Chains A and B, each alone.
Chain A
Amino acid sequence: MTARSGSFWDYLGRLAAGLAAEGCGCGAVLPDVDGGLLFALRDAAGRRHVARLRPSGGENRERGPSFERGTAPPAMIRRLRRAFLRFAARNPHPLLDHRGQDIGEILLRRGGELPEIWREELVPGTTRWSSFVLEELVPQSGALYATFRDGERRVRLRLTDREDPRLAGAERVLPVGNLALSLVEDDRTPPVRPADQVERFLAYLVARTTGPRTRIRGDGATSPSVTSYGGEVELNPFLPEGRQGASGMAAALSSRRGSRLKVVVFGDASCRQTFPPLRRLPLFDSWSCFPVGTAPEPGGWVAYDFSERDVIGGAERRLERLLRALRRRDPAVRIALVQTCVSRLIGDDVRGVLRKVLDDDAFVVLDPDFQAKDWAVDALVWPWVLRAFRRPVRQRRNLVNLVGLGGRGAPWAAELAGLLRDCGIGVNARLFPSFREEELERFDAAPLTVASRCSIVRSAFAGVDRTAGPSRWVTLDPPFGIEGTRRWVEGVVREIGGGPLRGAARDRLERACRARRRDLAPIRAALRGASIALVAQSRFSAWIFDPAEIFGIRILDLLTELGLEVEIFLHRDVPPPRELVRAVEGRGDVTFRTFDEAGALREALAASRSRLLLTSIRRNTPALALGKIPVFVQTFEPGLDGAVRSARRLAAGARFRFLERYGRYMRR
């Protein structure tokens, strides 16, 4: 028996059963986060005990396993020890061994290979903990990201060195020797039972495969770049650009309305100017689905641009004076301090200064880490924003907070509010990616908070204790498409306690859907036979098929509803992403093509009948050169009207003849 022929969860189940069969009274065996094993025991009198197999390292291996007996009688532990040794001898498992004790350093880098010791034990699609399957394992510089999924539930863990700066903002950190596991995303509803505790399993695995001196280090400098000369780009020019860690955070902070929050940017002017200083200028990343502001409103930002003198001598004292001035102006001021790289490098103790001047909840330090592509900054700012502004208010029935559907200014905001109003539900507050302070103050007036089911929202609110406030959080698929919008409205009604939608409200919703279907019919007719190409090569492009990655859009369903057929181009050597396999089951309107190198992809695309190409790359000359009209995720808008607008745009693209007429004149 090895780990590869069955999960460790199953193995522990068999171990418990084997020990019980030998009269040990063992009901369950669980791994401990330090590499030990916990045994749930029951003695002859029915009393419960917990024994613990110590995480013995190499130094006492010769003496064999050592148990802590807790309250269990010594004879019971002796029996347990003997039975355990017999079972382990008959059923060896690699995770009962201690390996990697002498590893001094593990180098993790973006796009790099994992150390062999983990490649064996952590196999995406195979490694399981109870019903959670390891979905993805992504090394970044100095970090390993492991994603486990159980249906709609997803848990994302990050393994780093214990000294890693990314842990500064993490709310839940599990130390494992010199290493640490932190929770990046978590869809589980607390309390989390052991069968769902994937971090317990992963911590055990790490403890069993590393040693007391093992450290993790990163080497981004040697990592291939996806965006400049990476092999991925050479093969597939339709890859998305990476996200700049803090851009979304800055957009959020610059787009909020209110006066108590001051964004203090502390560092060099170049760094501060990463963000476009113009309203509604789209950012080149996933945030661009939302029409957020990216320009500082007067009075909202305080820019402390370092001088040469600050770099040499530090700027703590001047920061303190600045903070005191802000507090004098408004004793209830809230400070989001953006600490840029240079401030961090010269060792300014900005947290210490902030603590001297302000209460703990009155500030947050946002450290736009170089590698923070995993919403680390968002996950810090949003829970704080909620904490800093929400106030105790009386709850009112039939109010709902919407999280992840844009602000009041979004083109679809009024329509969605109208659809809910028709069902007797009012919108109390909108949150993410923009917010208004006054709405946050009354956030708890709504008994229900509906968040969009997508990773950007999930990550941003991973640190929000959803059980802490009076507003109950639920996650729903966002309202894309006519059917999707109908399901969303019904879902909100159901969750707010109204049961299934009925009566006049149901009739109104049906009428609205029917009207939009009528609007959609001629557009669908115009689109008949038209198709769109989706290119999937590897994990970089699998995002297209994962609703969580594209704002909750179930892209194949939506395209079908809007009247488009789909051609999917898959790399021959890469198994189709799981999301894709799930999505295309039983569908006739999806065609698969395979390719094996860049030239073949270009040829296949050139020969394909698809006039449209879904991409996230702007100024997509390769797509235009192939006669394809780039379609961006932003084409798809939420709401019923949004569905019609989206379809109109696609139809316009499908009948666009410019490339055919003038393609030979285009600059490649």
Chain B
Amino acid sequence: MRARKTGRVAVPGVTLVPAYETGVFLGVNAIENSVLLMNSPRCPFVRGLKVFVHNDLGSTVYRATGRHRVITTEWAGYEDVGGGEAAFLRRLREAAGRHPGHWLFAFQNISSLVTGFDLRGALRAGGGAGRVVPVPLDGPRLDEDWLGGYDAVLGGVLRRVVSRRGRPVDLLLAGNLFCRNEDDERANVDELRRLLEALGVRRPAILLSGGRLPVEPLRPRATIALPYTGARAEEALRRAGAAPVRVGLPVGIEGTAEWLRAIGRTLGREPAAEACIERELRELVPAVQWIAAEHLLGRRAAVVADPHLGRALVRFLDEMGLSVPGWFVTGRGPEPAGRRRGSRRREPAGRVFVEPTVEQFASFLEDDPVDLVIGGSSFKYLALDRGVPYVEIGFPSYLTHVLHPRPYLGFAGARCIVESLLNALLERDQRRNATEP
């Protein structure tokens, strides 16, 4: 918020971009054998329920037995804020006793940070550290959001896992945003593996990818970084001598083909990449050709997604004949960085709202009607109130759960996205035709 020369200030609305801490929760949720220990009151646990319960039916972080994998020191009063070290050490010992061999991510809330709690020192001083894999997490950072928090967990993992003396693997694919333990994200991992195997890569290591994460050093022959590999994760890779090649997200037809070609180039397997693309397109295009031409062409969609998924989705929607008059960026990516909340700019694809507010989204729907919205569910209630279909993918997905393999990455993901778009539009047309004969 910045005062203008007139002395007037803009009144900020409320943005629903998840905070840094949420990204930490996502990272922990993606590693089944992990514990998050926080020096904080209990509220992070309550916040975490959005990730562990509402967003993820398959999460094992929250347990009905009370043995949750998020443990807070549970300050019960302001007087406890500065004095959490004893409780932290006790919780650390308990966690080490109960979760031997687990990754233990140590984190704190902003109040703890402000009071100067020495997280790393406490972790070093903690007994039982030998029984767990301790990973101190920086932050929370107020100038970063959930993508920064996820990167902090990923970076912590990579520092431990990637080593010059580790077990050799063909390929490390870093920076997969594993949002939940449901069959959209699992299927994403399967699809990435399938595509990589088509390039001749045997048993690629994908981080993060759900399930248990062995504490086993790896020495990748090649390292590919998906866009969610942030500065911390990249630094960890470089330090371990595994400087990554950056690629985009394999979303949509063209996006996935580009992704395959980029990896093929890196591995020196371009012909295999081209053969794979050809084979896949022969399968996929006939399945979606009439849908694109007859149902999607000319429709208008809004995108609600982080900078990486959002950019890929805008491109895919354009590829399928939809126009995108608005992209609501739910996170700070490399390009929108530095832009202040609520700012917007013109792009060929339409307007881009950085750290959008509910007010902006609501007025956008009024001013610039769209046929549907696709992306994370933060604004879904506003769209549903206005009768606009909403296809949920990515994080968060509070109101759509996936019980059978339904990726949104790769060629298989493109097919699923088209299916979702089609069904949403058909349903909307039914409703509209019923009310507007």
Contact = CB atoms under 8 A, between A and B. Distances in A.
A328 B8 CA distance: 10
Interface string A167-198: 00000000000000000000000000000000
B54 to A, nearest CB: 6
Interface stretch (A54-62, A115-123, A268-276, A396-404): A268-276
A329 interface: yes
Interface in B297-346: 341
Interface residues of B, number: 77
A460 B19 CA distance: 30
B9 A322 contact: yes
A222 B9 contact: no
Interface in A432-449: none
B202 interface: no
Contact of A345 (B66, B74, B114): B114
B332 to A, nearest CB: 12
A357 B15 CA distance: 25
A259 to B, nearest CB: 13
Contacts of B380: 278
Interface string B1-13: 1010001111111
Given A284-B53, A305-B142, A370-B41, A141 B76 contact: yes
Contacts of A221: 73-76, 80, 83-84, 86-87
Interface stretch (B44-52, B220-228, B263-271, B412-420): B44-52
Contacts of B44: 270
A321 interface: yes
B140 A270 contact: yes
Contacts of B16: 277
A281 B55 CA distance: 11
B176 interface: no
Nearest to A322: B9
Contact of B47 (A270, A296, A303, A617): A270
Contact of A302 (B11, B49, B63, B399): B11
Given A239-B66, A311-B114, A223 B74 contact: yes
A142 B110 contact: no
Given A271-B110, A284-B46, A619 B64 contact: yes
A273 to B, nearest CB: 5
A342 interface: yes
A326 interface: yes
B14 A301 contact: yes
Given A311-B110, A342-B110, A370 B77 contact: yes
B340 to A, nearest CB: 10
A502 to B, nearest CB: 45
A325 B9 CA distance: 6
A325 B4 CA distance: 12
B432 interface: no
Nearest to A140: B76
B3 A321 contact: yes
A326 B12 CA distance: 10
B18 A142 contact: no
Interface stretch (B126-134, B211-219, B356-364): B356-364
A227 B45 contact: yes
Interface in A241-285: 242, 244, 247, 265, 268-274, 276-281, 284
Interface stretch (A69-77, A212-220, A530-538): A212-220
B278 to A, nearest CB: 42
A507 B22 CA distance: 57
Contact of A342 (B21, B54, B114, B359): B114
A225 interface: yes
Interface string A617-628: 111111100000
B381 A295 contact: yes
A639 B215 CA distance: 57
A273 B47 contact: yes
B74 A308 contact: no
Contacts of B142: 268-269, 305-308, 310-311
Contacts of B41: 220, 341, 370-371
Interface of B: 1, 3, 7-22, 41-47, 49-50, 53-54, 62-68, 71-81, 83-84, 86-87, 90, 94, 98, 109-111, 114-115, 140-143, 145, 341, 358-359, 361-363, 377-378, 380-382, 398-399
22 contacts: A222-B90, A228-B68, A229-B94, A233-B65, A269-B15, A271-B109, A273-B19, A278-B399, A296-B358, A301-B13, A301-B14, A301-B358, A304-B12, A311-B114, A321-B9, A328-B8, A329-B11, A342-B114, A369-B78, A370-B42, A617-B64, A620-B64
